[in-house]
Structure 1
Amino acid sequence: MKWFFTLFLLFFMTSTTIAQTDFKARQLTFERVRTAYKEKWSALKAELATAGIMGAFNLYIAAYKNESRLELWVKDTDKKQYQLFKVYSFCASSGTLGPKLKEGDLQTPEGFYHIHAFNPKSNFFLSLRVNYPNGVDRLRSGKEKPGGDIYIHGSCVTVGCIPLTDNKIKEVYVLATEAKNAGQQQIPIHIFPFKMSTANLNEQLLRFPQQKNLWETLRVGYDYFEKNKLVPTVTELNGKYIIK
């Protein structure tokens, strides 16, 4: 039985490695992904090397609605702390501060998410789907349909997504593909209403006091990353985020 277990473990590990490295190969069967790699990957590799990232890396994405700012943070897979690598501006926005509550409300979600799918044939050139709605969102929406189809994407139109232009999404898509291909099973995307300093939080709560519970919870995750440059462990329990 011991030899059987060893053989099974070896097969499982080999299959997992092949599945991971095959992800990039599958993506490169699509013309737009090939175009993105041709135009962007060489320069991105040089920038990563300048930042001290010479091989496989993990990716963390933070978005700030009020500042229309998307941050890409990277780290070597064998290191703990992330470093800021790229900053992009949203090229359009919709809605106001506050979470998405229902389908068609034009709101961009606020919360702790991850990349749910890669879309190499998007209507907006390339896109990365956010796993909205999660359990917290569904409870918040109550009897309303929470909506869905939230993406980081190309082009400059939005009804709740994060558009970056076709040129910028090429870089984000390539970096996300590289991270997933290197074995990162879940690429976190944390969407905040604003940079959550004490001053900003107090100012915005005067305008949106109904968001106090949500924003103070998001602040915990924000502060953890700001202090440690580590992505906090976030789980859900009874429609609430639990942050460790």
Structure 2
Amino acid sequence: MQMSSKSALSFRIGAFALIAAAATFLSGCDEGGLGSNSRAYAPIAPETLALMKEKDTTKAAPVLIRTYKKESELEIWKMKSDGRYALLKTYPVCRWSGQLGPKTREGDRQVPEGFYSITPAQMKPNSAYYLAFNVGYPNAYDRALGHDGGSIMVHGICSSAGCFSMTDPQIGEIYAIVREGFSAGQREVQMQSYPFRMTAENMAKYRLDPNIGFWKQLKEGSDNFEVTQQEVTVGVCSKHYVFNATPVNGRFDPDGPCPQLKQDEGVRNLVAAKETRDDAKVAELAAQGVKPVRTVYADGGGHPSFSSIFAYASRPDALARGPIDIALDEGKARKGRASPVVQMAAGKLNASAPDVKLADARDVTGAIAPTAPAKEAEKPWMFAHLFGGEKPAEPAEPAAPAPVAANEPLVPQFADVPLPPHRSDSAARPAATSEGTSSSNPALAQAEH
């Protein structure tokens, strides 16, 4: 579809602003110290207010957030007059980092998955990443499993080292919607973070992924929301999520055994019926030949609608590679030595080994880069591309690795993999690094907190 000259000019101005902002800060979750920030108090756009009215809700009604990493989407839900939530808007996510799966440790670049709570104290009006709010990682479930790290944000500037990164106009509106909910008395905003949409099709596709047990827990929470369209009550006991249930006596102990629980029978029956339907669909899809896979990223992704500005996002080299679906062996795990590509991904084999295909290993792990990413000054096409020049060549299609057994490790720990320099390293400020952290050490600047 052709853009009007006015729309094209607006897009180019917006893209230029994104470039300038990204060149100012390090990739990651940075709060910074900008002083008073008037954009934190900007009103919600009239068009969005009109959409709220159409959806039978208001700017004062409670807010709920749902995110999906694989689809790179963030949803804002608002409570209607009948107490149920309605989907207000779906925002494409500009950048997320890491792999599908939970965050487990500081510096792993993982965007967390689970059920989190955002409070007014977690709003960051003075974030160096335009605007931001802390999602509340780690929660009780994460802490029970010994997961650490923190300061995971939803913020602007399209740069992620463990955060949900939006464009500046997007985070401006999302921030305003959440702010108005708090102003009207909402105490917490629930954020449901998923690896992908919890459909039977996705559960069939990822049925042998090492994270499938955890993802089934998340699906149970998702099912509870979808059958009720109401905020899910979340508890943790025996290092396991419990949804829409309350202890008969006492309280939840994340590390201890689950107490006797009280649940709404009607809701429980609806969830059970949905699970039965979805399980039958998973079995049907498997019988029809849907192969189990594990999706591997060089380092996360972003929504395709932002492909024209991916060159200015964090780690554009990783975005250019895109995800790869690794076929998993549904039969008995193979005996003996793992394939060279799998060993390479696990960090057990040097890239110079004679039986390693460098292209395959690079595509699976994102660890092997023949050259460092070119600096901005070495890419004359950058401004030409945005302001009327030719588009750079598309990256070559990656070679498809051989199927591997489900129990073989595929992805290295990011701390063990040398990462290419961030695009904004040369323009980094001497003090500001990650959210709530100050350091002049470039190595620390690459880690999210």
- TM-score, normalisation: structure 1: 0.80
Q: Which residue is equivalent to 2:226?
A: 226
Q: Distance in 1 between matches of 2:58 and 2:198?
A: 32
| Structure 1 residues 66 and 54: CA distance shift in structure 2, 3 A | closer
The equivalences for 1:39-118 within 5 A come to: 40-54=44-58, 56-76=60-80, 78-116=81-119, 117-118=122-123
Unaligned runs of 5+ in 2: 1-35, 245-449
Q: List gaps (5 residues or longer) in structure 1.
A: 1-28
- What whole-Å deviation, never above 9, does each CA across 1:102-153 have from its counterpart, x for those lacking one? 01101000100011410000011100111100121123236xxx11111111
Secondary structure, counterpart of 1:235 in structure 2: strand
| CA distance 1:55–1:137, change in 2 (3 Å) | closer
8 A contact 1:81–1:228 mirrored in 2: yes
Q: CA deviation at 1:194?
A: 0.6
Deviates more, 1:231-240 or 1:85-94: 231-240
Count, aligned residues: 207
In terms of fraction of residues, the more helix-rich structure is 1
1:202 partnered with 2:204:
yes
Match of 1:239?
A: 239
- Higher strand residue share: 1
Calculate percent identity across the aligned residue pairs: 35
Match in the other structure for 1:149: 151
Instruction: Evaluate the alpha carbon distance shift between residue 225 and residue 218 of structure 1 in structure 2; reply closer, same or farther with a 3 A threshold.
Output: same
Counterpart in 2 of 1:212? 212
Contact 2:206 2:212 in 1 (8 A): no
State the Cα distance separating 1:98 from its structure 2 match: 0.5
- For residues 197 and 46 of structure 1, what CA distance do their matches in structure 2 show? 31
Q: Does 1:128 align with 2:154?
A: no
Q: Could you list the per-position Cα deviations for residues 139-197 of structure 1 after superposition, in whole angstroms to 9, with x for gaps in the alignment?
A: 3236xxx1111111111000111011110001100100111111111100010111011
Query: For residues 200 and 129 of structure 1, what CA distance do their matches in structure 2 show?
Result: 28
Alpha carbons 1:60, 1:187 under 8 Å: kept: yes
What per-residue deviation string (whole Å, max 9, x for no partner) do you get for residues 41-86 of structure 1?
A: 333222212222246311110001110010111113x522111100
Q: Give the Cα–Cα distance (whole angstroms) in 1 for the partners of residues 82 and 56 of structure 2.
A: 11
One-letter identity of the residue aligned with 1:205:
R
Match of 1:174 among 176, 179, 193: 176
Indicate if the aligned counterparts of 2:59 and 2:180 stay in contact, CA closer than 8 A.
no
8 Å CA contact retained: 2:59, 2:181:
no
- Please say if 1:32 is aligned against 2:34: no
Residue in 1 aligned with 2:315?
none
Deviations 1:204-231 (A, max 9, x none): 233x2x2122111111111111222112
Measure the CA separation in 1 of the matches of 2:58 and 2:181. 13
Distance in 1, Cα, partners of 2:95 & 2:59: 34
Query: What residue is the counterpart of 2:305 in the other structure?
Result: none
Letter in 2 for 1:221: G
- In 1: Cα distance, 2:59 partner to 2:69 partner: 32
Q: State the structure with more CA Rg.
A: 2
CA distance in 2, matches of 1:149, 1:51: 33
Q: Is the 8 A contact 1:32 1:121 kept in 2?
A: no
Change in Cα spacing, 1:55 to 1:163, as seen in structure 2 (3 Å) is closer
How far apart are residue 237 of structure 1 and its match?
A: 1.9
Partner letter of residue 47 of structure 1?
A: L
- Asked if 2 retains the 8 angstrom alpha-carbon contact of 1:41 and 1:174, the reply is no
* 3-state SS in 1 of match to 2:207: helix
Q: Could you tell me how far apart the structure 2 residues matched to 1:225 and 1:114 are? A: 15
The 3-state SS of whatever aligns with 2:131 is strand
**Residues 115 and 201 (structure 1), Cα distance of their counterparts in 2 relative to 1, 3 Å cut:** same
Tell me the distance in 2 between the aligned counterparts of 1:205 and 1:171.
Answer: 37
Distance 1:167 1:141 in 2: 36
